[in-house]
Structure 1
Amino acid sequence: MHVFDHKGELRSYIKEKKDGKNIIGLVPTMGALHQGHVSLIKQALFQNDLVVVSIFVNPTQFNKKADLEKYPRNLQGDLIILEHQSDNIIVFTPTVDEIYGESIVSNTYQFDGLDKVMEGEFREGHFEGVATIVELLLLTISPDRAYFGEKDFQQLQIIKKIVESKNMPIEIVGCPIEREPHGLAMSSRNERLSKEVRIEAGLLYKVLLSAKRKFGTESADEITDWVKSQFKKNTLLDLEYFQIADEATLTPILKVQPKKKYRAFIAVYADDVRLIDNLRLN
């Protein structure tokens, strides 16, 4: 396993490997690795000769300074996890200065409305920050494929839009959500939850499964009202939004259209920890 802190050294190493006809995969992460990350890495290792795993807590995608400061960090633990996966992993662990220099700001993008709903509505500037770091990583590493979890499905669609709009010859691969035994989607943020709240947060997945069963026999408004009622009964979880949307455009559903795929999205606060999840409905 090779670990790089600087973009120039990483680029030189990857160029050498690509000249040797190696196929390169990329798994961007913010560290605090868990089994969800490992599943992405394993898929990338299966489909590529070498896999770059970036570990970087990106400041421009946090709209709350406190959330950035509290985000879990465990670089040494992350490196131990990666060492046990494969010798064919390259780790990129840049500092904020290495990435942004003296100006820690996001670039400006046109996402064709993908950023105006759900996460974009509640986290101003979030997707510009995500897009900025992902574009930089893609340009630095020039991977053949890049892997992202479907837990952040809206982010996945936006990244696909960036790659398409900039004509990058990179395949963006979405990977299934990995879940804890009680259904909670795996996330680095889960480590901040108390044991009681972590178990209670399995309600997100239970509600999504129920929404899937109701879909097709009840309207989106009826399902949404039912979801809201479930969280009103709960004293540990605070619903921020529940939305049923078209998978491709992320626009809220008005009427079910044939041949379209729909997905339910949810965001909840557990204490001061924000959790998101989603599930395809049809």
Structure 2
Amino acid sequence: MKTVHTIKELRSIVAQQRKKGQRIVFVPTMGNLHEGHISLVTEGLTHGDFVITSIFVNPMQFGANEDLDSYPRTLEQDQQKLSQAGNHLVFAPSAKEIYPQGMDNQSKVIVPDITEFHCGASRPGHFTGVSTVVMMLFNMVQPDVAIFGQKDFQQLAVIRKMVKDLFMPIQIIGLPTARDPDGLAKSSRNGYLSEEERAIAPRLSDIINLTGQKIQAGARDFTALSREAESLLLDNQFKPDYFNIVDSETLKPAAQTTESITILAAAYLGDTRLIDNITI
């Protein structure tokens, strides 16, 4: 496995693989990799011949008071995990390489409507940062397939819409959320949790699952169900950001006739913001 840090090096290697007729698979990450990330690489090996993983903590998707500076950067450990998983190339650029003119002078990709609620409402500008950097990375790598986790359900929906709207010839694959044995969704930010908070954290998925069970049993007052869930979160030391029951396709509020329902939730536990979801 090789690691490159410049777009020129990346494109040279991609061109070599293309000449061999190889199918390119891309896994974009921000590093500090856990088993969920590695499962994306493992899946990628079944969809193509050459797997490229990017590691880039994208400053454009962080808000002014968010954790850009403290976000864990563990390139050496990430390289070891990726090599063991069979990944072929790591692209680990600097912010200067990605934004040579600075972010203020960077053209941006805005995906309308679907970015305006849930995490989009809580983190203004976040999804513009995501869609912009993913578009840039897609243009650099030019993959046949790109693989993402479903823990960031809204992010995946945003990327699917961007690819569809802009007629990009890339197959987008979403994989189920990787979880610890106690049900907590794996996340790089879980490392921020204290020992006490880590013991409480799985209750977020418990409350989401409980709400899902009520819906499956026939409950259809989604507003009341969301309020009940937020109350349970407060009782369990969380500070709810949102708890929304939505149409899985549109991410708009679910209706009585909605066939596929997704529960999206975000909540703070101490200073750590956790997100999770299930689809019913």
TM-score by length of structure 2 reads 0.95
Match of 2:22 in 1: 22
Aligned pairs for 1:108-123 (under 5 A) are 108-123=108-123
Mapped to 1, the partners of 2:8 and 2:169 lie a distance apart of 21
Q: CA deviation at 1:190?
A: 0.5
- After TM superposition, give the deviation of residue 110 of structure 1 in Å: 4.4
CA distance in 2, matches of 1:217, 1:76: 49
Question: What secondary structure sits across from 1:73 in the alignment?
Answer: coil
2:147 aligned with 1:147 = yes
The Cα shift of 1:234 comes to: 2.1
Deviation sequence 1:164-183 (CA, Å, 0-9, x none):
12111100101110001111
Does structure 1 conserve the Cα–Cα contact (< 8 Å) formed by 2:241 and 2:267? yes
Q: Which residue of 2 aligns with 1:245?
A: 246
Deviation at 1:228, TM superposition (A): 1.6
Aligned ranges 1:68-107 → 2 under 5 Å: 68-86=68-86, 88-105=87-104, 107=107
Name structure 1 gaps, 5 residues minimum. Answer: none
- Matched residue, 1:279: 278
Q: Which residue of 2 aligns with 1:13?
A: 13
Shift of 1:10: 0.6
Show structure 1 runs of 4+ deviating over 2 A: 105-112
Structure 2 unaligned segments of length 5 or more: list them. none
SS at match of 2:239: strand
Distance in 1 of aligned mates of 2:54 and 2:34: 14
Counting aligned pairs with the same residue, the percent is 39
Residue by residue over 1:38-69, the C-alpha shift from the partner in whole angstroms, topping out at 9 and shown as x without a partner, is: 11111001221110000000000001344111
Deviations 1:214-266 (A, max 9, x none): 1132410121121022122123x21111000111111112x2225x3110000
In the alignment, the residues of structure 1 paired with residue 3 and residue 110 of structure 2 have an alpha-carbon distance, to the nearest angstrom, of: 34
Answer whether contact 1:51 1:89 (CA < 8 A) is retained: yes
Paired with 1:100 and 1:50, the residues of 2 have a C-alpha distance of: 26
The match for 2:264 is 265
Determine helix, strand or coil for the equivalent of 1:67: coil
Deviation at 1:125, TM superposition (A): 0.2
Q: Is the 8 A contact 1:36 1:186 kept in 2?
A: yes
Indicate the SS of the match to 1:84: helix
Contact 1:4 1:92 in 2 (8 A): yes
| Mapping 1:207-246, distance limit 5 Å | 207-215=207-215, 216-235=218-237, 237-246=238-247
1:2 aligns with 2:2: yes
The secondary structure found in structure 2 opposite 1:42 is: helix
SS in 2 for 1:167: coil
Q: The residue matched to 1:151 in structure 2 has which SS?
A: coil
CA distance in 1, matches of 2:122, 2:73: 24
Query: Using the alignment, how far apart are the partners of 1:104 and 1:112 within structure 2?
Result: 20
Distance across 2 between alignment mates of 1:160 and 1:214: 30
- State the aligned residue count: 277
AA partner of residue 219 (structure 2): T
Q: SS of 2:231's equivalent? A: helix
One-letter amino acid matched to 2:52: V
Return the offset for 1:278.
0.5
Partners of 1:269 and 1:226 in 2: how far apart?
A: 17
On the 8 A contact 2:200/2:236 being kept in 1, the answer is no
- What is the CA–CA distance in structure 1 between the aligned matches of 2:182 and 2:19, rounded to whole Å? 46
| d(CA) in 1 for partners of 2:146, 2:135 | 11
